[in-house]
Copies of this chain bind each other. A is one copy, B any other.
Amino acid sequence: LAENPEIPAPYSSIGVLGAGAWGTALALTAAKITRRVHIWARDSAIADRINSTRENPAYLPSVALPASITATTDLDSATSAAALLVVVPAQSVRDVLMKLARVTRAKPIVLCAKGIEKTSGLLLTEVLQEILPDTNGSILSGPSFARDVAQGLPTAITIAGQRETVARLQATLGSETFRPYASDDPKGVALGGAAKNVYAIAAGIADGLGLGESARAALLARSFAELMRLGEALGTRPETLMGLSGLGDLVLTATSLTSRNHAFGLALGRGASPADLSRNPRPLAEGVDTAPALVKRARAVGIELPIAEAVAAILTGSLGARAAIVRLMSRPLTSE
């Protein structure tokens, strides 16, 4: 723990690319400090509604947005801000970064999505590196429901990247209640944020099967052990995975009934078919796409992830939820 010796100037304006719940909550957070926050929305109806009603009723209803937040569908306008937060679904990050590459290459970019790219098996920090290799990139992640942040409940998250940039982001986003802590391990932050959604689906399945809280806790401890093994193989720091963006977020997502990934697993455990659940794309459960990508990435470095593999198999329909989880819970009585 090293105190940042001096608090640098916050960014004068922030562009938030993505008008979902988390993007809106981060815009609100930034608006406490900076005078101009632009939300970029794909959907002009969403942008119009934000500008006319000062709310984002589709994603974060009943939360008032100050006049300093404006929404636009014009990427040039949104990216005129001093720093850019990318808050779109993980599988759309590449697309947005490619767009960004055409309009700006010099702005600090902060990844605020959680997932692994399904097509490539890349962590989002690696996608950024591939598309904008010279960019000053950071990643923001941690245990933080958008609604908790929007309501001003205390939350603590991690921002990883270059030290000076992270310090400016802390100054731009930090408040009494929203506490961003600095890290220099972006890859570890990206991994923890991605993997926790997969393990939250597993926890949800256990709950849906009615296995009880003890079983869920055991599954969670094993999930964390898997994550630590993979992190070691990928060269991330163990402290990162043990911290807010790893363990903290895993615990939040896997134990909360309001988590989308947990809810997806819960429905699976109660007997819904993966195909049925995937037909209705909202609310998005990032773990669905990330599960096979996580498994693929782990296999590439020679790591087996029994729980993530079970989730991936359940999602393809090749393994029943009950059979998979019961098998996980009745492994031979080895050493821990």
| Residues of chain A whose beta carbon lies under 8 Å from any beta carbon of chain B | 1-4, 142-145, 148-149, 151, 153-156, 158, 170, 174, 176-177, 179-184, 211-218, 220-222, 224-225, 228, 239-240, 242-244, 246-249, 251-252, 255-256, 258, 326, 329-336
Q: Which residue of B lies closest to A184 (CB)?
A: B335
Compute how far the CA of A333 lies from the CA of B329 in the bound complex, rounded to whole angstroms: 40
Inter-chain contact B335/A249, CB cutoff 8 Å? no
Q: Would you give the shortest CB distance from A159 to chain B, in whole angstroms? A: 9
How many copies of this protein are present in the complex?
Answer: 2
Main SS at interface, chain A = mixed
Provide the residues of chain B in CB contact with A180, threshold 8 Å: 333
Q: Which residue of B lies closest to A3 (CB)?
A: B334
Pick from B4, B184, B239: contact of A333, CB below 8 A. Answer: B4
Inter-chain contact A334/B214, CB cutoff 8 Å? no
A158-B336, A182-B336, A335-B181 given; A213·B256 CB < 8 A: yes
Compute how far the CA of A243 lies from the CA of B215 in the bound complex, rounded to whole angstroms: 14
A244-B336, A247-B221 given; A154·B3 CB < 8 A: no
Compute how far the CA of A248 lies from the CA of B4 in the bound complex, rounded to whole angstroms: 33
Pick from B153, B174, B211: contact of A214, CB below 8 A. Answer: B153
Inter-chain contact B1/A143, CB cutoff 8 Å? no
Q: Would you give the shortest CB distance from A215 to chain B, in whole angstroms? A: 4
Inter-chain contact B145/A4, CB cutoff 8 Å? no
